[in-house]
Amino acid sequence: MRITDVRFERLHGTYRTSAGHSVARQVGALDVYPEYRGRRPQAGDVYDDLGERPISEVYVFVDTDEGITGTFGPIYVDQAFQIDLHLRQHLIGKDPLATERIWDILSRQDRHARRGYMMMAISAVDMCLWDIRGKAAGLPVYRLLGGPTRDAIPAYVSTLGHATEPERVFSQARAYLEEGYTAQKWFFPCGPGDGQAGIETNMAMVRAAREAVGDASELMFDAWLGWDVPYAIEMGRRMAPYNPAWLEEPVAPDRIGAYAEIRRATGIPIAGGEHEYTRWGFKVLLDAEGVDVIQADPDWTGGITEMLKICALVSAYDKPVIPHGHSTLPALHLIAAQSPAVCPRLEFLIVHNPSKQWFHTEQFFPEGGMMRLPQTPGLGITLDEDRIESRTPLSWR
């Protein structure tokens, strides 16, 4: 089998849902500047999912001479650009089942391939190759990886985009508990630039969430890179009595020493790694004792091929890997093939993950807090032609 083409399409359609989620903004790295801190949410940040809106997503397709096509998406247009301009030349004519060889070539072909959009592009290619392997074998990817280790995967609800006013947090957290979720993650609205009032606003959200679920649910909280060390330490100490399962990304990801300092000073678990790349980056983070939970994202950190190595590395440090949930299926396949001690659960972004599956024939949503496993060969991405109103081929060559 040989790769004959690598191509891209932007799919256009109309996203329809009856699930209404309030538009809300979270603290972020740009909040250090007042003009960004005061900005209201824009359509590109978070959106109200009630009703209809136009939707367009980019997909990558890797074709072979045996008629099997690997499909993955949605991806960022920046990833597609890197694949088309830089990676495609290393793929045409190659054996798509030789994923280790291809990954090594793609990671070596450019000295900037270690991180960022180039590594994210490699991740998307790798996902297509695993899709081809599964289709060629007639098996879901997790079967090729040694799974399943469980019949279904526990999912935690991630509330990016939800309103953060205490009364709304209380009602929504209680509703998720009643739906069967045993863990929830909430996103802080305020950071250092919001002063003491912002601290009180953040803590009101923490209290409301804990009061809503009692001791029956784990609660995680995400600062989305928007804090500094003193602020994170003060917030961590205030949060400690509410027994958070973790505080996520309190500062920018490259400030590894700061992660370790916050972890030591607060005594609460720290999570991170969503914006880290490859096993070598995670080894530095682990050696610094900066995190308790690793959140590598298969869409970004090198694909399934590299995630297998990251899981093996992290397990040697006795830390769990709970993949960041940029998309659902790659993480689901990976987790289903790992021990529950290594990958205990799946993140499901309740506002964003449904729209990312809009063009898929089969969609995956937690039921009773559990996610079923795909049964179709490959990753399980089959495009629903009835939802595709038009296609735009993309190329930069």
Question: pLDDT (tens digit, 9 = 90+) per residue, 293-338?
Answer: 999 999 999 999 999 999 999 999 999 999 999 999 999 999 999 9
One domain for residues 153 and 266:
yes
- Of 275, 324, 333, 360, catalytic: 324
Asked if 324 is an active-site residue, the reply is: yes
**Chain-centroid distance, C-alpha 231:** 26
Q: Are 248 and 295 in contact (CB under 8 A)?
A: yes
* Mean local confidence (pLDDT), 188-193: 96
Please report whether residue 126 resides in a domain. yes
* 51: confidence class by pLDDT, cuts 50, 70, 90: confident
Angle, in degrees to the nearest 10, between helices 303-316 and 278-287 = 20
- Mean pLDDT for the chain overall: 95
Residue 125 phi, psi (nearest 5): -60, -45
Q: Where do runs of H (alpha helix) occur along the chain?
A: 34-37, 77-82, 99-108, 116-137, 141-144, 166-179, 195-213, 229-239, 256-266, 278-287, 303-316, 329-336, 353-356
* 216: confidence class by pLDDT, cuts 50, 70, 90: confident
Which amino acid, residue 311?
Answer: C
One domain for residues 96 and 156:
no
One domain for residues 89 and 220:
no
**Domain tally for the chain?**
2
Q: Please, what's the b/e burial string for 61-88 (b: 16 or more CB within 10 A of its CB; e: otherwise)?
A: bbbbeeebbbbbbbbbeebbbbbbebbb
Please report whether residue 203 resides in a domain. yes
Please report whether residue 377 resides in a domain. no
Please report whether residue 45 resides in a domain. no
Percent of the chain with pLDDT strictly greater than 70:
95
One domain for residues 23 and 155:
no
One domain for residues 123 and 148:
no
Give me the domain span that covers residue 91: 3-36+53-138+384-394
One domain for residues 167 and 115:
no
Task: Tokens 């909430």: give the residue.
Answer: 186
